[in-house]
Amino acid sequence: MKEQLEAIQQEALEKINTVDNLKELQEIRVAYLGKKGSLTSVLRGMGQLSKEERPIVGEMANRIREAITASLDEKKEALEKEALEKQLEAEAIDITLPGRPTNVGGPHLLTKIVEEIEDLFIGMGYEVREGPEVETDYFNFEALNLPKDHPARDMQDSFYITNELLLRTHTSPVQARTMRKYGGNQPVKMICPGKVYRRDTDDATHSHQFTQIEGLYVDKHVRMSDLKGTLDRFAKKMFGEERKIRLRPSFFPFTEPSVEMDISCKVCHGDGCSVCKQTGWIEILGAGMVHPNVLEMAGYDSNEYTGFAFGMGPERIAMLKYGINDIRHFYTNDRRFLKQYHQA
Ligand code: FA5
């Protein structure tokens, strides 16, 4: 019986050694260790052995069973590993393939400039207000000292909706609206960004729809020098210490005296180009001391209160700051243009 067991062991181990798939390995397990397997049948015959021989053969049979089991397990592990490796190889993902780019958006340059200007004035104690784009004739003109048939209305050719309603031509009506809200007896310090509309012919520096930022400061003892100081501070912060500004006498019916502020052209450094119409300067805002009539119409006593106001064009400011040579770039939505300023 001992020889029989040894022969079984040798045969089983040889077969296990040469097998190359899991299915056949399982068949070997059944053939030797299964209920009807050769090792099991030999063990069944142990009853015929003498008392002395039984434990010796029993111990040997167990050892052989363990050896065959260990060899089967080891082979199984090796074959499974091999199968997994083959599968991984077959299903391999090519990670060298470049990914599909996603288009990441960013705020429009104009939004960024408006926010930058807002932050600058918030830092000087101004609050940010809003007003309607569809405005009444009263607030757009009359409350700003431009009665009906006043010739200065032609300065801003308008899109009328009805006789009394129009698309606002500037953000100045928000001056009148805010002063009224403050009731004639409180200081006002506000800026108002927003869209405005004019029947202007589009060219490199003019658009029929553009943005303005209005500023208004009303209090007791506000002087022209406060306006000058504020604008100078704004210009230096926005364009750098080296940029020159100039104030030219001007006329607006709602301010007296009135000025226009120009900044030296950054595109041509003052030599003259299409942006500055060959003058070396570009106008960015109108300003002045609030006209006493405007203060009175809003309920302020013009003997007690004074104020200054300004209105600027952020597109022109952005053009100067970034050397953009045509205002139409802001509205034609060419992503190649817009993308340049996502990190600006
Ligand atoms: C006004 O609109 C006045 N309301 C500004 C003002 C406010 C003066 C408060 C006094 C007190 P003006 O028409 O000049 O002024 O326009 C102001 C700014 O808007 C200009 O300096 C310019 O930067 C910009 N702007 C004017 N017209 C256009 C246009 N068609 N396209 C782009 N920007 C323009």
Residues with CB under 6 A from ligand 1: 170, 172, 198, 200, 206-207, 210, 212, 214, 252, 255, 283-288, 309-313, 315-316, 327
Q: What is the mean pLDDT of the chain?
A: 91
pLDDT higher for 67 or 194?
A: 194
Question: Is a pLDDT exceeding 70 seen at residue 344?
Answer: no
**For 141-166, what is the mean pLDDT?**
88
Interval between CA 296 and ligand 1 midpoint (Å): 24
Rounded CA separation 164/175 (Å): 19
Interval between CA 327 and ligand 1 midpoint (Å): 14
- Give the fold, CATH level 3, of 109-339: BirA Bifunctional Protein; domain 2 (3.30.930)
DSSP 314: H
pLDDT digits (tens, 9 = 90+) for 254-285: 999 999 999 888 778 788 887 788 998 888 89
Question: Is a pLDDT exceeding 80 seen at residue 201?
Answer: yes
Residue located nearest, by CA, to atom 31 of ligand 1: 206
- 165-167/188-197 β-pairing: unpaired
DSSP 145: T
Helix (H) or strand (E) holding 41: helix 38-44
Interval between CA 337 and ligand 1 midpoint (Å): 25
**For 127-136, what is the mean pLDDT?**
97
pLDDT digits (tens, 9 = 90+) for 46-83: 788 888 888 888 888 889 999 999 999 999 999 999 99
pLDDT score for 57:
84
pLDDT score for 292:
98
Q: Closest Cα partner for 255 from 144, 139, 143?
A: 144
**Predicted structure pTM score:** 0.73
Rounded CA separation 208/17 (Å): 89
Interval between CA 285 and ligand 1 midpoint (Å): 6
